[in-house]
Amino acid sequence: CQLDKWAKAAGLKYFGTAVDNPSLNNAAYMKIARDKDEFGQITPANGQKWSNTESGQGRFSYGSGDAIANVAKQTGQLLRCHTLVWYNQLPSWVSSSFSRDQMQRVITTHIQNVAGHYKGQCYAWDVVNEAFEDDGKFRQSPMYRAMGIDYITHSFKTAAATDPSARLYYNDFNIERCCNAKINATLAMLKTVIAAGAPVHGVGMQGHSRVGKSPSKPELKNTMAAFSLLVEEVAYTEVDIRHTKLPTSAADREQQARDYLEVVGACLETPKCIGITVWDYTDQYSWIPGQYPGEGEACLWDKSFNKKPAYTSIISMF
Residue closer to ligand XIL, measured from CB, 76 or 290: 290
Q: Do residues 73 and 40 touch, judged by C-beta distance below 8 A?
A: no
Please, which residue, 84 or 166, has the CB nearer to ligand XIL?
A: 84
Applying the rule CB under 6 A, the residues between 3 and 32 that interact with ligand XIL are 20
Determine if 206 is a binding residue for ligand XIL (CB under 6 A): yes
| Catalytic status, residue 130 | yes
Nearer to ligand XIL, 6 or 208 (CB): 208
What DSSP string describes 14-62? EEEEEE-GGGGG-HHHHHHHT-TTT-SEEEESSTTSHHHH-SBTTB---
The residue (of 190 and 309) whose beta carbon lies closer to ligand XIL is: 190
Distance CA 151, CA 85 (A): 9
By CB under 6 A, residue 46 contacts ligand XIL: yes
Is the separation of the CB atoms in 211 and 255 below 8 Å? yes
CA geometry: angle at 124 spanning 236 and 31, to 5°?
Answer: 70
Residue 206 CB, nearest approach to ligand XIL (Å): 6
CA-nearest of 41, 232, 59 to 121 is 41
Residue 6 or 239 with smaller CB distance to ligand XIL: 239
Catalytic residue among 38, 176, 238, 262: 238
Q: Which of 6, 287, 301, 311 is close enough to bind ligand XIL by CB under 6 A?
A: 287
Q: Is 286 left (phi over 0), alpha (psi -120 to 50) or beta?
A: beta
Give the CA angle between residues 284, 285, 286 to the nearest 5°.
105
Residue 52 is a binding residue for ligand XIL (CB under 6 A):
no
- Closest to 201 in 3D by CA, of 284, 125, 258, 102: 125
The SS3 assignment for 93 reads: coil
Clarify whether 233 is annotated catalytic: no
If one asks whether residue 282 binds ligand XIL (CB under 6 A), the answer comes out as: no
**Binding residue (CB under 6 A) for ligand XIL from 150, 238, 240, 259:** 238
Q: What share of the chain is helix, strand, coil (3-state, %, to 5)?
A: 40, 20, 40
Based on the shown chain and the rule CB under 6 A, indicate whether residue 129 belongs to the binding site for ligand XIL: yes
CB-wise, 45 or 241, nearer to ligand XIL? 45
CB 251 → ligand XIL: shortest distance, Å? 28
Instruction: From 281, 297, 303, 298, select the one nearest 247 (Cα to Cα).
Output: 297
Q: Min. distance of Cβ 298 from ligand XIL in angstroms?
A: 11
Q: How far is the CB of 129 from ligand XIL (least distance, A)?
A: 5
Site residue total, ligand XIL (CB under 6 A): 7
Selected catalytic residue, list 38, 130, 176, 233:
130
C-beta nearest to ligand XIL: residue: 287
List, in order, residues 6 or more apart from 127 with CB less than 8 Å away: 83, 84, 85, 111, 155, 156, 159, 168, 169, 170, 200
Nearest distance from C-beta of residue 128 to ligand XIL, angstroms: 11
Residues taking part in catalysis: 130, 238
Return residues touching ligand XIL (CB under 6 A).
20, 45-46, 129, 206, 238, 287
